[in-house]
Structure 1
Amino acid sequence: MNDGRPVRGARADRARAQRLEPSVRRRRVLYLSGFDPRGPSFYHKTYREEAERHSALSGAPIEVGPRRSLGPLVQSWAVTAAIDGHPVETRYDFLRWDDIIRAHWPRRQLAVWVNTLWAFSVFLRTGALGRIFRATWPVLITVSLPALFVLLQVLLALGAGWGAAALVSAFGAPTVAAVLAALLAAAGIILLGRWLEGRLNVYWLGRIYAFTVRDARGEVAGLDERRDAFARIVVEAAAAGDADEILLVGHSLGTPLAVSVMARALALDPAIARRGQRLAVLTLGPTTPILSLMPEAGWFRDELRTLAAADVPWLDFSAPPDGACFALVDPVRIFDPAFPRGEDAPAWPKLLNVRMMDLVDRATYDRARRDWARMHFQYLMAGDRLAEYDYFMITAGAVPLQDRYAHRAGVKDYAGLRPFRT
């Protein structure tokens, strides 16, 4: 595997991509965010600001239009670009499920704690945590961190409270004073934990895992209907025939959602990939196994197998430094090792390494390594230099996704993050 190639290798890859046939003049992007309550306004602002950074770096104009509502499930903006001198118009549709996310985003600390510990116990009890560990040890840390953070706060608060009460009692103070001292000491630990969590964002992870358990069990009201509605949007986009390429993009927890949506679109229209446009799935910072490893998620495992064997190109980008994703892990073979990966039939996804050090400079990389959310969002951001992975070349450039990375062989068996290399 050639994951460690230097920057000059990335430049050669980019030059090779620039020589490909620029066959896209109109594109439709259907974007599914991760588990993020901030919704389309945040993602429109991010895309616009990062497109400006990309333009300043590359010299290629990218204009991002205002956000407009196309109904309760879609907000959209136009992207007009001329990268490498080829004009492209992209309609960027943000498919909304942020209302469902906000309904499962507890704000009270006690509710967050209870949900976090419950979800962790499910992962532990069902054996999902062990399977995650065998596949990629960084995700084991990410899944365990929220529960450990909560438990550590509880233990420290109890210890501090007991110690403060004992100290006050040792000086002959009345019981009321000892109780008050215990409460103040425990509250201090909780406040310190709250401040620290604001820097670490570990409760965000805890909310994700609790939501995933409920999703696997079919307990998230409205989400299955939303998957079906998004599938119909994909089918309608293909039937419209007004785009040279249609990209279904999922980021983070939007990756399992994208899998479901495309699998259901194929069920609605099995010939969807042969309608004349280039249709492809792009998953970024994938967390797909978080759902597929749940025992109750047999329905989702079937959808994964369906998409993996379909004739719809599916490229899956990840990066080993991103501990919040299943980097270079086959999302089907993690639960079905016998799933065929033959040369004669489609067997998606193609697993590709983003190679963060080609994309950002050392200072940016070091900052991102200390902030999991910053690293996890780099897939949607401009880099400090032009590199082979380029979200704006993908979504606003003239080369179709599959062609752009046709020269790259997908990673077949990455063992770099497995604790036991067999």
Structure 2
Amino acid sequence: MKLEPVERDQARAAGRVFRRRVFYIPGYDPIHPRRYRELYRKEGAHQAALSGYRLSLRPKTGGGPYGWQVTGDVEGARVEAEVEVLVWSDIVRGSMSNSIPATYLQLVRTAWAYIGSGALFRLMRLRKGPMIAALYPIVFLLLQLTVAVGLGWAVAKLMLWPLANIPVSRTLAVALATGHALIWIAVAKAVLIWFRARDNKVFAWYLMHDYAYSAQAGGANPPDLEARMSDFRKAIRAALEQDLDEVLVIGHSSGAHLGVSILADLIRGGLPDTRPALSFLSLGQVVPMVSFLPRATRLRADLHYLSTRGELTWVDVTAPGDGCAFALCDPVSVTGVAPEGKRWPLVISAAFTRTLSPARWQALRRRWFRLHFQYLCAFDALPGAADDYDYFRITAGPQTLGARFAARKPSKSRIETPVSGYRSTA
């Protein structure tokens, strides 16, 4: 049953347990979802100690997708939440080529997808951070290729140098040239393999696969991803038929635009007459990286549709300190598909410079990829007021997303100017 905020306060006063189901949609991540459980456990304990509430985690019971259960004693109420990770890491791993030539071919195709369509130049008008992050793997991989080719040539030249000035027959000259080429290629390949093996420090190869996956079909979803999204929609639909107070869908990074399409399809298909509150929290979104591409008509239509719906609450949280996200860019408006009567998303800032202590901010400010996950972590300067962004209050606290942010105004610094050159939703 969907309760109004006043009724929820009365239910809490009567000692009623608040029950929530959380569906977390990761971004383009090939790693097992247990990393999210450990992150929640560690950072939740830290935030609870800072803010004066209690959280406890236990394993999920029964089968089904990976997840965990949370009990919270937050804001004077008891909360039971079940968190489920909507896993598509197997699809991500399948898209990450192990072939070095294939990765460089992806580089060429991805660069052309954004440059040839004009999307790159329009995206640069929004935020410089994500564009630097997008160009970074291209520049870094080309630099690695240059180093590998240069070292290969130098090693081959050095190894065959003693024979350079010795008169040889034409047959031997051909053999020497062939040997030079083979040594050159072998060394260059070894250098590139060495670079790739250490990518967990620089993330250039990983990011190249990420952007290539979004761009491979000009912004359209691959069939295997569409099939998985359909499974996710069915799982969320089933939760809406349970005795819960809230079903909360969280989309992080690339998971945000998947969440938009999943929820749009869910609402189009019809919701139960009696149901818990339906909420959508998008974190660190990179929606324009897809919605600005020519064939992203499905996503643009879903953005247009979801932005008017009264069946859900949609809050979009980013931060200017996150160089990998389109911070404070309203994904509907900048894509140019905002309809009359638009009501979502509520765009707010996690304001890292205010919600992190000066010492913590200094420690993290140059760690781009770590900051991109800060939305899922503790904020050590957070005052604890209910209207501030606190991931653990949202997921394990006794208010729905709509009630928690009912009085919150959108960020004054948000960007709503339509920039995309492709706005078709047909």
Report TM bin, short chain. Answer: 0.7 to 0.9
Instruction: After TM superposition, list the pairs within 5 Å mapping 1:251-262 onto structure 2.
Output: 251-262=252-263
- Change in Cα spacing, 1:291 to 1:219, as seen in structure 2 (3 Å) is closer
Aligned residue in 2 for 1:277 = 276
Aligned residue in 2 for 1:61 = 54
Instruction: After TM superposition, list the pairs within 5 Å mapping 1:3-402 onto structure 2.
Output: 21=9, 25-68=18-61, 70-71=63-64, 74-163=65-154, 173=164, 182=184, 186=188, 190=192, 193-194=195-196, 197-214=199-216, 216=218, 218=220, 220-240=222-242, 242-269=243-270, 271=271, 275-311=274-310, 312-336=312-336, 339-340=338-339, 345-387=341-383, 388-402=388-402
- Change in Cα spacing, 1:181 to 1:96, as seen in structure 2 (3 Å) is closer
- Number of equivalenced pairs: 392
Give aligned-pair identity as a percent: 32
Structure 1 residue 170 displacement after superposition: 7.3
Q: Give the root-mean-square deviation of aligned CA atoms.
A: 3.1
The letter of the residue matching 1:256 is H
How far apart are the structure 1 equivalents of 2:417 and 2:327?
8
For residues 125-168 of structure 1, give each alpha carbon's deviation from its aligned partner in whole angstroms, at most 9, with x where no partner exists: 11111111111121111111111111112223333444556677
Show structure 2 runs of 5+ residues with no match: 166-175, 420-426
Report if the CA contact (8 A) 2:110-2:216 is conserved: no
How far apart are the structure 1 equivalents of 2:116 and 2:232?
33
The letter of the residue matching 1:304 is L
- Change in Cα spacing, 1:155 to 1:26, as seen in structure 2 (3 Å) is same
Three-state SS of the structure 2 residue aligned to 1:38 is coil
- Change in Cα spacing, 1:157 to 1:382, as seen in structure 2 (3 Å) is same
Which deviates further from its counterpart, 146-155 or 317-326? 146-155
Structure 1 residue 26 displacement after superposition: 0.9
Three-state SS of the structure 2 residue aligned to 1:246 is strand
TM-score of the superposition, structure 1-length normalised?
A: 0.83
Which deviates further from its counterpart, 303-312 or 148-157? 148-157
- Change in Cα spacing, 1:415 to 1:297, as seen in structure 2 (3 Å) is closer
For residues 24-66 of structure 1, give each alpha carbon's deviation from its aligned partner in whole angstroms, at most 9, with x where no partner exists: 7111111111111223222122212222222332332201111
Three-state SS of the structure 2 residue aligned to 1:310 is coil
Report if the CA contact (8 A) 1:352-1:410 is conserved: yes
For residues 151-207 of structure 1, give each alpha carbon's deviation from its aligned partner in whole angstroms, at most 9, with x where no partner exists: 112223333444556677777647579668756874675366446633121222111
How far apart are the structure 1 equivalents of 2:189 and 2:240?
56
How far apart are the structure 2 equivalents of 1:403 and 1:108?
50
Structure 1 residue 306 displacement after superposition: 0.6
How far apart are the structure 2 equivalents of 1:35 and 1:183?
32
For residues 94-136 of structure 1, give each alpha carbon's deviation from its aligned partner in whole angstroms, at most 9, with x where no partner exists: 2222222222122344333332332122111111111111111
The letter of the residue matching 1:404 is R
The letter of the residue matching 2:240 is A
The letter of the residue matching 1:319 is A
Please say which structure displays the higher CA radius of gyration. 2
Structure 1 residue 350 displacement after superposition: 0.8
How far apart are the structure 2 equivalents of 1:224 and 1:191?
33
Which deviates further from its counterpart, 218-227 or 254-263? 218-227
The letter of the residue matching 1:348 is W
How far apart are the structure 1 equivalents of 2:96 and 2:155?
34
Report if the CA contact (8 A) 2:151-2:187 is conserved: yes
The letter of the residue matching 2:237 is V
Report if the CA contact (8 A) 2:220-2:298 is conserved: no
For residues 264-294 of structure 1, give each alpha carbon's deviation from its aligned partner in whole angstroms, at most 9, with x where no partner exists: 001111x55x635221110000011122111
Three-state SS of the structure 2 residue aligned to 1:302 is helix
Show structure 1 runs of 5+ residues with no match: 1-16
Aligned residue in 2 for 1:14 = none
The letter of the residue matching 2:110 is A
- Change in Cα spacing, 1:416 to 1:172, as seen in structure 2 (3 Å) is farther
Report if the CA contact (8 A) 1:330-1:351 is conserved: yes
How far apart are the structure 2 equivalents of 1:131 and 1:302?
20
How far apart are the structure 2 equivalents of 1:394 and 1:367?
26
Structure 1 residue 89 displacement after superposition: 0.6
Three-state SS of the structure 2 residue aligned to 1:348 is coil
- Change in Cα spacing, 1:108 to 1:165, as seen in structure 2 (3 Å) is closer
Three-state SS of the structure 2 residue aligned to 1:313 is strand
TM-score of the superposition, structure 2-length normalised?
A: 0.82
- Change in Cα spacing, 1:29 to 1:416, as seen in structure 2 (3 Å) is closer
Aligned residue in 2 for 1:6 = none
How far apart are the structure 2 equivalents of 1:162 and 1:107?
24
